[in-house]
Amino acid sequence: MQSFLDIHTTSKQDLRSIIDGARRMKDARNGAPKGTPDTEQPLANRMVALIFEKPSTRTRVSFDLGVRQMGGQTMVLSGKEMQLGHGETIADTARVMSRYVDLIMIRTFEEATLQEMAEYATVPVINGLTNRTHPCQIMSDVMTFEEHRGPIAGKKVVWSGDGNNVCASMIHAAGQFGFDFTFTGPPPLDPEAEWLDFARAQGVNAQIVRDPAKAVEGADLVVTDTWVSMHDPQSAKERRHNQLRGYQVNRALMDRARPDALFMHCLPAHRDDEVTSEVMDGPNSVIWDEAENRLHAQKAVMRWCLGV
Ligand code: CP
Ligand code: NVA
C-alpha cells in the first residue's frame, strides 16, 4: 500500500512500471465500449473516494470511469459539502475516511493539505492536483508521447508560458524519465528553481531560455497550459495575459520546432490565448489522446497504490 503524491517522490522503476501497466490495460481493452468491465477486476469490492476542492472535468470523469472498469465503486465528494470545508481538520478527515474507503484521490489547493491527508490516512492517497503539482497529468503525457514517438528518454521537451503546477510535474518527469527540459516564459512566472535543480541532479539538461523561438529549436514536444490557473487570483488575469502574450504556441512557433514535434496541453484550454486553435486542432496535436490516457494512466496508478 503506497500513496502517489508526486513524480519526484516515486521511484523511477515504479514510474516505469505504472506506464507499462497503463499501456497493457489500454491494449487489453482493445477499444471496447467505455462501460465494458475490464477482463481483470483488480478493484472488485473496493471503494474509492474522489474529493474535489476545485472544479474538474477530466480528473473527475477519468478516475470515476477507471475505478468502475476495474470493478470498484466510487463516491465523488465536493470539499465544500464535507465538514472538511467547515473546519474539521484534514488529519481527522483522513482518519475517518480511512475507515470507510480503500483509496482516496484528492484535488486541493495547498500541498500541505495533500501531505497531511497522506500522513494521517491509513489508506493510499493520490494527488489529483494541488497548487504546486499535477503528477497524474504528466503520467498521461509521458504515456501519450511514447505511444506516438517511442521512448521519451533523451528527447527535448519545451514548456512555453506559465511555470505552474503542471509544468512542475513535467520537470520532475524530465529527471525521472531522463529527457531534457526547456522552459520559456517571463521571469516572474519561472518554475521553482528547486524543481530544475532536481531534474539536473538526475543528469538531464533543464534550462530556461527567454526567447521562445530559440527555446523550441530541436523540440520533440511543445507543451503549454492556461495562463491563469484555478488558484491564481482572477485579478491577475490582465497582467498575466500581457506578460505571456509573446509565449503563445502558434504555427510560427511550432514551425521552429522539429517537423515531427508533438503538441500537448493538459486542458482545459483557452483557445487563441495560450495556444491557437490552428495548433490545437492541427496535425501535431495529441491533446485528445492525452486526455484519454488520463484514464489508463490513473488506473495503473490506482493498482500500484493498492498493490493489486
Ligand atoms: N487536465 C485536468 O486535470 O483537467 P480537469 O481540471 O478537467 O480535471
Ligand atoms: N494549471 C491548471 C491546470 C488545470 C488542470 C490549474 O491549476 O488550474
Render pLDDT for 204-257 as a digit per residue (tens, 0 to 9).
Answer: 999 999 999 999 999 999 999 999 999 999 999 999 999 999 999 999 999 999
The pLDDT of residue 120 is 98
Check if 160 has its Cβ closer than 6 Å to any atom of ligand 2: no
Residue closest via CA to ligand 1's atom 6 equals 56
Could you give the dihedral angle defined by the CA atoms of residues 24, 30, 31 and 34, in that order, rounded to the nearest 10 degrees?
-60
pLDDT digits 0-9 by tens, 15-28: 999 999 999 999 99
- Choosing from 61, 107, 166 the residue with most ligand 2 atoms within 8 A of its CB, the one to mutate for a pocket test is 166
Question: What average pLDDT does the chain have?
Answer: 98
Q: Are 100 and 49 in contact (CB under 8 A)?
A: yes
Residues whose CB falls within 8 Å of the CB of residue 112, separated by 6 or more in sequence, listed in order: none
Confidence of residue 41 (pLDDT cuts 50, 70, 90): very high
Q: Which atom of ligand 2 is nearest to the CA of 137?
A: 5
Spatial strand order of the sheet with 221-224 comes to 206-208, 180-184, 156-160, 221-224, 262-265
Mean per-residue pLDDT for 106-114? Answer: 98
- Give yes or no for residue 1 having a pLDDT over 90: no
Q: At what angle do helices 12-29 and 135-149 cross, to 10 degrees?
A: 60
Spatial strand order of the sheet with 103-107 comes to 73-78, 47-52, 103-107, 125-127
Mean per-residue pLDDT for 178-205? Answer: 98
- Nearest ligand to the C-alpha of residue 52? 1
Q: Which atom of ligand 2 is nearest to the CA of 56?
A: 5
3-state secondary structure of 103: strand
Residues whose CB falls within 8 Å of the CB of residue 93, separated by 6 or more in sequence, listed in order: 82, 83, 84, 117
Its pTM stands at 0.98
Check if 62 has its Cβ closer than 6 Å to any atom of ligand 2: no
How close is the Cα of 176 to the center of ligand 2, in Å? 22
Q: Which atom of ligand 1 is nearest to the CA of 291?
A: 1
Catalytically active residues are 107, 134, 137, 225, 266, 294
How close is the Cα of 252 to the center of ligand 2, in Å? 25
The pLDDT of residue 85 is 82
- Choosing from 61, 111, 226 the residue with most ligand 2 atoms within 8 A of its CB, the one to mutate for a pocket test is 226
The pLDDT of residue 192 is 98
Percent of the chain with pLDDT over 70: 100
Mean per-residue pLDDT for 52-68? Answer: 98
Q: Which atom of ligand 1 is nearest to the CA of 57?
A: 7
